[in-house]
Amino acid sequence: MRVAVVGATGLVGSVMLKVLEERSFPLQMLIPVASERSAGKMIKYGEQSVEVIILEEALALKPDLALFSAGGETSLNWAKRFTEAGAVVIDNSSAWRMDPDIPLVVPEVNGDTIKKGHRLIANPNCSTIQMVVALAPLHREYGIRRVVVSTYQSVTGTGVKAVRQLEDERQGVSGEKAYNHVIDKNCIPQCDVFTPNGYTKEEMKLVNETRKIFGDDSIAVTATAVRVPVVGGHSESVNIEFEREYDIDKVRILLGRAPGIVVLDDPAGNQYPMPVMTEGRDEVFVGRIRRDEFSDNALNMWIVADNLRKGAATNTIQIAEYMLKKDLI
């Protein structure tokens, strides 16, 4: 297979290359793609060095698969040009997520929504991915009525400029800012821009994408997304109200058996998920599982994952692997 990685020099794109290599993805030709500013750079992939090229050159090579992580504008302008040239495109931006004709996929949850003939697949938002992985086995068993989620999102979710801002502030030097406020030793209750209803775009992604992935617009979701001075790994405090009564021990069993989940829940031993332990891991970690004592059929959980891997790059490649397995590419 000829595989193009669009945005190969960015944070997510570089992790995509790493994950492709780690998982021995069956490619015969790697096509790293970036802007004209990065064109001509050499990147390492396995034992080879590969030159970064621009989108026009990549399109002319007619890749079989194109993994996009170069922002929404690039995806809107180029994704369908690649599909028209014969490629399957898996897009990591928000450009196509809510298009009713385009599957929005987390393979463990709703891979079966990809059908023969689908050429463009959307990868959900990082905070959505880790939440729905943890919610899916419980939704199947008990039916979810309502979700209240507060996120604690690392600066890598914003990009390399945000990482540099945090590093500059910790070193006491001035530099380019990704945020309107200081991020070191601070929490910013704003991820992305505000929408007319008072919620941010990040918060509304959690609402709308969760409903689409589960195929159920009756699920009520409300979110508060917060940026925290952590370099990698997103955390979420989630309160779930079910349609039916649940058994707390069975909840732990269901989560422990679900693909892609690690349950780490031993309060007596001070064991619970934290961002530092998820770095470089592809699983979603769940802990602090406890009954909501003041709401019928409600449960609290703490969910943590590496946002650059399962929240972006790994999920993208898992979609491609699923499509290969099902002979959809």
Mind telling me the catalytic residues?
A: 126, 234
Q: How many CB atoms lie within 10 A of CB 304?
A: 27
State how far the alpha carbon of 78 is from the alpha carbons of 56, 204, 269, in Å.
9, 25, 51
Sorted by sequence, the CB contacts under 8 Å of residue 19 that are 6+ apart come out as 282, 309, 313, 314, 317
Residue type, 225: A
What pairing do the DSSP bridges indicate for beta strands 65-68 and 234-242? Answer: unpaired
Backbone angles phi, psi at 65, to 5 degrees: -140, 135
CA 110 – CA 202 distance, rounded (Å): 21
Residue 195, phi-psi category: left (phi > 0), alpha (psi -120 to 50), beta (remainder): beta
What tokens does 266 get? 């031993």
Residue type, 2: R
State how far the alpha carbon of 170 is from the alpha carbons of 110, 160, 161, 233, in Å.
41, 15, 14, 19
Q: Contact 261/255 with Cβ under 8 angstroms?
A: yes
